[in-house]
Amino acid sequence: MPYLSNILFLLILVVSIWFFARNVGKLRRNIRLGKAMGDVENRPQRWKNMLRIALGQSKMVVRPVPGIMHIFVYLGFLIINIEVLEIIIDGIFGTHRVFASAGILYDILIGGFEVLALLVILAVIVFWLRRNTLRLSRFIKSEMKGWPKRDANMILYIELVLMLLFLTMNAADYQLQQLQVAHYSEAGVFPVSNLLSGWLEDLPVATLIIIERTAWWLHIVGILFFLNYLYYSKHLHILLAFPNTYYASLKPMGQLSNLESVTREVRLMTDPSADPFAPPSEGSEPPEKFGASDVTDLSQRQLLAAYTCTECGRCTSECPANQTGKKLSPRKIMMDTRDRIEEIGRNIDTNKGKFVDDGKQLLKDYISPEELWACTTCNACVQACPVSIDPLSIIMELRRYLVMEESAAPAELNGMMGNIENNAAPWPFNQMDRLNWARES
């Protein structure tokens, strides 16, 4: 059956796309477990942020070495997808380098792909050495042990193998073109694999075809495997960095959100002319819960950010609390949030679309009050994140729950709030006595 390989390829492609679409559906459902974001304002600015930060990698190059290396990998991922499209078409229809009719443009593209593949290989080696040999501090924190470390290395190994298979495929293809083997019509320029093809010169045609076909199949199947591995990996940011930078908050750093219901009560207490019996304005009803104790109390924007986290650790390395030995790690906050969403998602899958209370929540079961109260709200983590993730917003929602629902603030904070309530100031002095120091002097 001459078309058996085409049918097999089409079957693998359809199954891979179906599995990927199923996981995307789960991802969408899990994010929608959060509270709706409401109206998305200032869309032009959001598009600018997405193009500048996600597409333009502007925050990555703040640290030049990893930033430039990441750009190599990023460009390789984006541009080599054109080559993947060609492979898919060839696999379905049994053609060979179907885009070769583009002539010199095709030569430039293939040559560019190969140079990028070599740069990706170099970048992957640098990243592996930084993680496993140099053992940079942010890569050996406690939250990076076990699966996160294995996942990070697995991604590097997959990228390395895929690029080597690409170059091997091209090297064998180039030799077969030079030998004018049927089906391997001359097309493309191979500046990198041409250097490798010398090792294949003395091999018989049958062996070269086996090498080329094996590398071709492993390369495209590896790409489809990697596509479906994304859902289980920190590399999901490849897809989610774009919507996350688009939907990221446009408020100035340091501007915290207020609850309308609480603001209304404060105004009633401080405004003598206010009517305490006036009905609340539309949309200002008291919330069911103050703050957040679980991921379903967070917004969809915050859950999207949790899935987008790259686990790069820039936030944690910039965190002053973490630098001074405190338990807080902003990266862990995002990882814990994502892990809890996933746990709830599996619960829903197991129970046929319905969540069954498991007796757990994000607060205390995943994130401890000690971590939350270590935060200085300095926004260093927000500033450092290369894809506009805001760990502080989650920290503040969990804190709000501790204070307003459980009255579980630290003693120092309780004292200050008691002073504000009784003395209208954070200090333990009656209003009538505040200027005593001036009189005494």
**pLDDT confidence tier of residue 411, bands split at 50, 70 and 90:** confident
pLDDT single digits (tens) 158-170: 999 999 999 999 9
The pLDDT > 70 percentage for the chain reads 96
Mean pLDDT across 340-351: 96
**Radius of gyration, CA atoms only, the chain:** 28
**pLDDT confidence tier of residue 95, bands split at 50, 70 and 90:** confident
CA dihedral sign of residues 77, 81, 82, 84: positive
Judged against a pLDDT cut of 80, whether residue 265 lies above it is answered with no
Residue 321 burial class via C-beta count within 10 angstroms: exposed 0-12, middle 13-18, buried 19 and up: buried
Judged against a pLDDT cut of 60, whether residue 283 lies above it is answered with no
| DSSP code, position 52 | I
Mean pLDDT across 293-309: 96
Closest CA to 200 of 235, 238, 168, 236: 168
**pLDDT confidence tier of residue 153, bands split at 50, 70 and 90:** very high
Dist CA 333 CA 42 (whole Å): 28
Mean pLDDT across 135-144: 90
- Coil, helix or strand for 88? helix
pLDDT: which is higher, 389 or 196: 389
Q: Which of 129-143, 295-309, 367-381 has the least mean pLDDT?
A: 129-143
Dist CA 249 CA 46 (whole Å): 9
Mean pLDDT across 357-377: 95
pLDDT single digits (tens) 216-247: 999 999 999 999 999 999 999 999 999 999 99
pTM for this structure?
0.89
Which pLDDT score, from 0 to 100, does residue 398 have? 96
Dist CA 193 CA 166 (whole Å): 9
Which pLDDT score, from 0 to 100, does residue 326 have? 94
Q: Which of 90-99, 104-113, 159-168, 430-439 has the least mean pLDDT?
A: 430-439
Check if the beta carbon of residue 424 is closer than 8 Å to that of residue 417: no
**pLDDT confidence tier of residue 285, bands split at 50, 70 and 90:** low
Q: Which of 56-70, 217-231, 371-385, 422-436 has the least mean pLDDT?
A: 422-436
In the numeric block, which tokens belong to residue 364?
Answer: 């205390």
pLDDT: which is higher, 71 or 81: 71
Dist CA 57 CA 68 (whole Å): 10
Dist CA 71 CA 56 (whole Å): 9
Judged against a pLDDT cut of 90, whether residue 299 lies above it is answered with yes
The CA-to-CA distance between both ends of the chain, in Å, stands at 103
Closest CA to 126 of 167, 168, 156, 150: 156
Which pLDDT score, from 0 to 100, does residue 359 have? 92
